[in-house]
């Protein structure tokens, strides 16, 4: 085979490969198929034993990174709630319509150290929400204050735990030509007793999930795999 024919075949294969890659690249946003997420309206200010109080809320990331927040997230919500025993819980939710590369949700394991906290311990604890065990992560952090926290992340309508399962979920949507949206829900409290904090955070999270509108609950906590 002479060089001209070989080079022509190679060029044709490269063009074909590029065409296949282009065809397999997801472009449609899954979020466009559902009603827009409006965190303020969808998350109740009162549910179960918890009521929002007006105070300075915990921020999701350092204010100096506000430009990055605006780039990645479509909407954020920060509130402080108390129960009948005046125990405060801080709720932070970050939602992004586009979970393609470059627009990934920031995990607390990264955000907290960036704000001067040390992550002392990490554990996994499924919580029963929306009829199945939502995989959540618990972190014990210490820095400007002792702040144990519980968080979970939803991609599309599937909660995940860990980078591998997240990427597999994104690939599953990508095979259908869709770019999934994503939501990170974080529940935390200033408490020197992590065990107490986690128990109350679990109570808060399950009562909040039950109080969410039926039509959007799966977008906040995921849905059971059928």
| Assigned domain for 91 exists | yes
| Assigned domain for 114 exists | yes
pLDDT for 207 equals 97
Is the overall model pTM greater than 0.85, yes or no? no
Residue 32 per-residue DSSP state: G
The neighbouring-strand residues paired with 155 are: 158, 182
Per the structure, the count of domains in the chain is: 1
Q: Which three-class secondary structure state does DSSP give residue 226? A: coil
| Assigned domain for 149 exists | yes
| Assigned domain for 58 exists | yes
| Assigned domain for 11 exists | no
pLDDT for 136 equals 95
Residue 171 phi/psi, 5-degree rounding, is: -65, -35
Domain span at 179: 27-221
Decide: residue 83, CB within 10 A, 0-12 exposed, 13-18 middle, 19+ buried.
middle
Q: Which three-class secondary structure state does DSSP give residue 139? A: strand
Q: Per-residue pLDDT averaged across 176-180, rounded?
A: 72
Mean pLDDT over the full length of the chain: 78
| Assigned domain for 192 exists | yes
Which residue, among 79, 106, 45, 113, has the nearest Cα to 188 in the 3D structure? 79
Q: What is the pLDDT of residues 133-171, one digit of tens each?
A: 999 999 999 998 999 999 999 887 788 766 555 566 666
Strand 158-160 relative to strand 149-155: parallel, antiparallel, unpaired? Answer: antiparallel
Q: What is the pLDDT of residues 82-117, one digit of tens each?
A: 999 999 999 999 888 765 544 456 788 888 888 889
User: Which of 55-64, 177-186, 203-212 is most confident?
Assistant: 203-212
């Amino acid at each position: 085979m002479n060089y001209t024919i070989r080079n022509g075949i190679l060029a044709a294969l490269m063009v074909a490969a590029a065409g296949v890659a282009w065809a397999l690249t997801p472009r449609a946003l899954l979020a466009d198929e559902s009603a827009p997420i409006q965190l303020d309206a969808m998350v109740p200010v009162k549910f179960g034993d918890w009521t929002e109080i007006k105070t300075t809320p915990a921020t999701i990331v350092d204010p100096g990174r506000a430009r990055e927040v605006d780039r990645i997230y479509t909407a954020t919500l920060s509130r402080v709630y108390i129960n009948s025993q005046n125990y405060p819980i801080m709720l932070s939710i970050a939602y992004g319509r586009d979970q393609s590369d470059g627009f990934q949700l920031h995990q607390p394991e990264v955000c907290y150290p960036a704000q001067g906290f040390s992550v002392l311990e990490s554990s996994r604890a499924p919580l029963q929400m929306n009829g199945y065990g939502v995989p959540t992560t618990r972190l014990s952090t210490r820095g400007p204050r002792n702040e144990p926290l519980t968080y979970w992340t939803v991609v599309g309508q599937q909660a995940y735990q860990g980078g591998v399962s997240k990427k597999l979920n994104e690939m599953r949507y990508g095979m259908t030509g869709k770019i999934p949206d994503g939501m990170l829900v974080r529940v935390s409290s200033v408490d020197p007793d992590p065990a107490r904090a986690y128990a109350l955070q679990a109570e808060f999270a399950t009562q909040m999930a039950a109080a969410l509108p039926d039509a959007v609950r799966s977008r906040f906590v995921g849905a059971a795999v059928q």
